[in-house]
Amino acid sequence: MEVKFHDIGEGMTEGEILNYFVKIGDEVSVDQPLVEMQTDKMVAEIPSPVAGKVTAIHFETGETITVGTTIIEISDGESKPESKPEKKAVKTNSVTETTSNVFVPTKRINHVKAAPFTRKIARELEVDIEQIVGTGPNGRVTEEDVYHFSKGSNASSTIQEKLPAEKKQETEPDLIPFKGIRKQIANNLSFSVRTIPHVTHFEEIDVTKLSQYRKELKGLGENISIVAFFLKALAISLGEHPIFNAELDEEKSVIRQHKIANIGLATDTKSGLLVPVLNNVNGKSLRTIHAEMKQLTEKAQVGKLSAQEMQNGTFTISNVGPLGGVAATPIINHPQTAIMAFHKTKRIPVVMEKDEIVIRDMMNISLSFDHRIADGADSVRFTNRFVELIEDPKKLIMELI
């Protein structure tokens, strides 16, 4: 049984092998995790489809492979392989083919570490990638190494030889691999900016009453995050202004207005920006919204989100307030129509009725929207309704009854 790297996410074409949970000779059961893969969007485990013994592992950790590639072979003890003439051990690049439980990179031609795209460049330049000494992490051959080699010099040899040891660290930049989640973020945002005419509307909100209400709830044993209130107010506002809960289908010349608010939660992680989706915010209580939002963001932080948990979003929020910042122009998560960012809350003096100056908790929000679908007046009406619900929690609670 060949265990292949199958498509585990939308538009995925390749992934990096992070970790093996088994080695050659191990007995495995059905659905037992075999290997951990890093794709453009997530970290995922590939389970065993059968029970049996691991007979071959074709790649090392750190290597990038394409969808459809066989990673591991498992013998289930039922099918018998065709008898083949016994082969003598052949020494290739210091790896000897024997029957011992040692990793043997079968079905591979190139033994250097390099991404598929780097190998493609080498083929186009008619360069033997086996002759290149990699300068990337763990000796990986980079695109720059290939270009240097094609011009008659290898960055790992000529540059290192010419520079004094004490100068190497000063002159050589740190190289960060541009791949995986970081590359997918770049592709998505670049496409969004090129495709969507962005307009950003700014507004300030007085969250004093909401902060006080949350303190009262906490005294009663109900600890509900302020973002849970934001999400519920957004779901109500989107229901009344569905043009912001929509997407444009240019091919069919229609705008699809969704009836359910599936709100994406832009989450800052060590791997980059991930956007898990909280589905059907309309039909959920504040307690449920708080619990599910916390669960999704925690899974995002540890790289355990599934592809399904990042799909079907209709609107996105970005809560950058805990980090600081007064205002921003967030980029829309295509093909959605809008994204709202919440910024830092500050206690500042505010002029109230009768020119009374009081200290209030004020917060700025940014709403970026697709000007092909909505106009500025629409965005003002939409944010006004959201502000009304947040500034007076009683009105928000009345909408839930």
Q: Which of 386, 309, 373, 398 is nearest to 340 (CA)?
A: 386
- Residue for token pair 């360069």: 127
Give the DSSP letter of residue 327.
-
Q: Which of 174, 144, 173 is nearest to 156 (CA)?
A: 144
Please count the other Cβ atoms lying within 10 Å of the Cβ belonging to residue 154: 20
Distance from C-alpha of 41 to C-alpha of 309, rounded to nearest angstrom: 11
Give the DSSP letter of residue 62.
T
Amino acid identity of 183? Answer: K
Q: Which two tokens stand for residue 342?
A: 């919440």
Q: Which two tokens stand for residue 3?
A: 């265990």
DSSP sequence for 201-217:
EEEEEE-HHHHHHHHHH
Residue 334 designated active-site: no
Contact 236, 250 (CB under 8 A): no
Residue ranges of E strands in 93-219: 95-96, 198-206
User: Can you give the C-alpha Rg of the chain in angstroms?
Assistant: 27
H/E segment holding residue 109: none
Distance from C-alpha of 236 to C-alpha of 388, rounded to nearest angstrom: 11
Contact 142, 175 (CB under 8 A): yes
Distance from C-alpha of 330 to C-alpha of 351, rounded to nearest angstrom: 29
Sign of the Cα pseudo-torsion (165, 169, 172, 175, in order): positive
Q: Render the burial of 13-32: b for 16+ CB within 10 Å, e for the rest.
A: ebbbbeebebebeeebeeee
Parallel, antiparallel or unpaired: strands 315-319 and 338-351:
parallel
Q: Which two tokens stand for residue 254?
A: 């229609």
Contact 316, 277 (CB under 8 A): no
Distance from C-alpha of 213 to C-alpha of 173, rounded to nearest angstrom: 51
Q: Which two tokens stand for residue 341?
A: 């960012």
**Residues with a known catalytic role:** 371
